[in-house]
């Protein structure tokens, strides 16, 4: 049952890619289900009833198209307003960490990770680690894939010897976000399909016990870790938090995909 705030909601978040705000609608439950397009009606329905909207078959059909091996990938990046490394632009998303869970057709899963905390330009070692971790025939899966694709394209443009492989990786990247958005809604999401909002409605996985809880926290930890006056002990501690967080993000995608495909 609900783990969120009291119902009914009186403040409606933007939901379903649709803005109800700014139209004088302050209570989602006042909307007339019959007049809404199905895309919005299912959100109102799930909110009224507390019964999640779950199209298992639709989700299964979408996910089963992704050929094995599957590489569930997540980057952590840093973006400096004033570029820190030669050849980077202001606000360019530079990856200093990634996690990837590689899933074989038989269900076997191996985990690979990369983390740079020495303060040097992490891009070459990151690209090399990607090449080593992700099989050339893998379907790469990310949550809000345009972000991961963008990082991959940036890396590909930088290293001619890895250009084809990295570009190919970007082309093989698919997105779990629309699958979730189209086939699942729980009212505790309150209009959000971010991984942090969705995950607790499907599983008991939780970010609250982690040292690093979100992307912003990861960036803060990274910045502290690369400072010269940060002790080795502290750096190790920060790195440990980063590793756990990033690994949780990719594991969360695996868990979500399994949940989405599982019978109700």
Binding site for DNA (CB under 7 A): 13-14, 17-19, 22-23, 39, 74-77, 79, 91, 93, 143-144, 146-147, 149-150, 177-178, 191-197, 214-216, 218-219, 249
Positive or negative, the CA dihedral 103, 206, 113, 145 is positive
- 74-95 in b/e form (b: 16+ CB < 10 A) is bbbbbeeeeeeeeebeeebebb
Comparing CB distances to DNA, the nearer of 19 and 49 is: 19
As a whole number of angstroms, the distance between CA 231 and CA 82 comes to 25
As a whole number of angstroms, the distance between CA 207 and CA 216 comes to 13
In the complex, minimum distance from the CB of residue 240 to DNA, in angstroms, rounded to a whole number: 17
As a whole number of angstroms, the distance between CA 31 and CA 45 comes to 10
Comparing CB distances to DNA, the nearer of 68 and 153 is: 153
Comparing CB distances to DNA, the nearer of 162 and 178 is: 178
In the complex, minimum distance from the CB of residue 39 to DNA, in angstroms, rounded to a whole number: 6
In the complex, minimum distance from the CB of residue 120 to DNA, in angstroms, rounded to a whole number: 18
In the complex, minimum distance from the CB of residue 250 to DNA, in angstroms, rounded to a whole number: 10
Comparing CB distances to DNA, the nearer of 75 and 251 is: 75
As a whole number of angstroms, the distance between CA 27 and CA 21 comes to 10
């Amino acid at each position: 049952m609900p783990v969120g705030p009291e119902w009914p909601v009186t403040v409606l978040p933007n939901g379903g890619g649709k803005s109800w705000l700014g139209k004088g609608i302050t209570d989602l439950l006042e909307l007339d289900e019959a007049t809404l397009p199905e895309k919005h009606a299912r959100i109102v329905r799930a909110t009224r009833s507390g019964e999640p909207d779950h199209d298992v078959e639709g989700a299964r059909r979408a996910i089963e198209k992704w050929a094995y091996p599957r590489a569930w990938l997540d980057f952590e990046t840093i973006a400096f307003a004033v570029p820190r490394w030669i050849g980077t632009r202001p606000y360019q998303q530079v990856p200093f960490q990634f996690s990837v869970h590689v899933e074989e057709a038989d269900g076997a899963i191996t985990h690979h990770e990369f983390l740079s905390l020495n303060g040097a330009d992490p891009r070459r070692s990151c690209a090399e680690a990607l090449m080593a971790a992700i099989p050339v025939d893998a379907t790469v899966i990310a949550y809000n894939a345009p972000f991961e694709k963008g990082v991959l394209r940036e890396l590909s443009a930088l290293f001619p010897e890895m250009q084809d492989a990295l570009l190919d990786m970007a082309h093989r990247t698919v997105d779990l976000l629309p699958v979730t958005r189209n086939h699942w809604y729980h009212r505790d999401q309150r209009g959000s399909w971010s991984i942090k909002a969705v995950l607790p409605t499907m599983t008991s996985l939780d970010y609250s016990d982690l040292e690093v809880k979100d992307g912003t926290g990861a960036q803060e930890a990274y910045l502290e870790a690369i400072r010269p006056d940060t002790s080795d002990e502290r750096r190790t501690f920060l790195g440990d938090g980063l590793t756990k967080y990033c690994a949780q993000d990719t594991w969360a995608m695996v868990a979500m995909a399994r949940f989405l495909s599982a019978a109700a």
